[in-house]
Structure 1
Amino acid sequence: MSTRPHGYARYRLDGCRCYTCAVARSRYDENRTKAITAGTWQPWVDAEPVRTHIRALRDCGMGLRAIAAAAGVDRKRLQAVTVGRTERGTGPQEKIRPDLAAAVLAVEPTLDNLAPSTLINPAGTRRRLQALVAMRWPQQHLAVRLGMTPNNYGAMVRAEHVLVRRALAVRDLYEQLWRADPLEHGATQAGVTRARRHAAAHGWAPVGAWDDDTIDDPAAYPDWTGQCGTWLGYATHKRLHIPYCDPCRAAYRTYRQERRAIRAAA
């Protein structure tokens, strides 16, 4: 008995002639005829870009089973693309269906897709913890909430890589605490004062300086002023006594050079 869901594939591969499968076959034929008439019929695409993407995902720590689950396809279909069908003695597929290609190419190596033991860049994890300290959360409180000793916590913050499971735990903690007042959750006034001073002394950006889309990007910079990367951002840094960021320094240098050029040409 086939476990394949009812639809076009079951009609073709398993010979099912139930109403659902028959309708799926009819719609497929109708869409195929329209596409052929319009000159857009493309039943197969090159499999090599998909193989390249699968290799990149595996290099990031995703197994073939995890890639298949994220793409919503059967793992055997990916095996056919990468190594071929061993039971048939065939090599990797050279052509695949467009829907399979689109599903696999849409998979990204996000934290939720990677194996818990995978080592990743610690930038996002470190920034989230630093932002919470800048929001006056004592680091010993963060360590306790993560189920870590102060020594293990410190080692994680300084490490060149972090485990995915740790990164996920820190992400969840960040979501829980970024709007919370540490004084209402057991921190002392002395503790929050020390945390704020420590963050300021080390130039750690607060929560509001990071965007969810960039906080995990190692090349990204915090937007301290809402105008960082412009000469206006530089002026805001100066007015509010905020440590200057590199994008604002660069923008201000460019602004001064342009001003000198205009004066020289006058």
Structure 2
Amino acid sequence: MTTATKTAPHHNTLTCYTDYRCRRPDCVARYNVWHSGREQAIAAGTWEPLLDAEPIRQHLLALHAAGITIFRVAHLTGLQYRSVRSFTQHDYNNAAPRRHRATREVAAKILAINIDEHTPGVVNPIGSQRRFRALVAIGWPTLHTAIRAGIHPSNRNSMFRYPTMQARVAQRIANAYDEMRHQSPAKHGISATSIKRAKIQAERENWAPPAYWDEAGGIDDPDFEPQYGITRRQIVAQDASWVMRTSGVDRCGAAERLGVSRAYVDHAFRDFPEYAQAVPA
């Protein structure tokens, strides 16, 4: 679920438009400027083509051999986990082949990681937590996910109470998730009662299933706020609150930017007062 105080995600980069299908006017304008610049560079012959990704793959394999996981690389570079992983293996979610090309920016970020300067380290646990919950949404009790990931069952809840977790543990959870999301719990000894109980819990808590994360992206991004299971009116209340807090506009201005009426914003704040409380009256 979203909160009234957390900053809305990705509204200062292209990812909100390309990955999350954000269509706020400011974000659309940012994308249009980038796209126009790209077209002009191509016409002028100055556009830099993609690079061969084999050096990236070899570097990632060397890092992994030294104990620096894909999760750790994503954390150090600020890149998405799936984006980094795609250089070493195919995409489990849509059977896409391993990436063979990369932008100069991505290549530079990954190749800049020096084995001698970085330890295996820790990462944010949000991605692991979301993976556990996504599997619950399709009927996998957390006990079985923990066992498949090599985690002691008694630690499966407590490990998410801390702000960080070991990257190697997060990697094991991601590996288990990639396997289990394509498997039927019933065919692996999970009773119908346990499957039903898991799905009911996920529905009650609005935990998004794997299919949602495939569409939305951002499963490892702590700044990404999933909109799964909430109404458009709640989303408008959240976005209006964010616009008003960051831009200083009133409700009319927020409504104009969001492409809705002032009355719709008023109704949204009435139904979800926690968002209205975060902005000046």
TM-score, normalised to structure 1's length? 0.46
TM-score, normalised to structure 2's length? 0.43
Structure with larger RCO (C-alpha < 8 A, sep 6+): 2
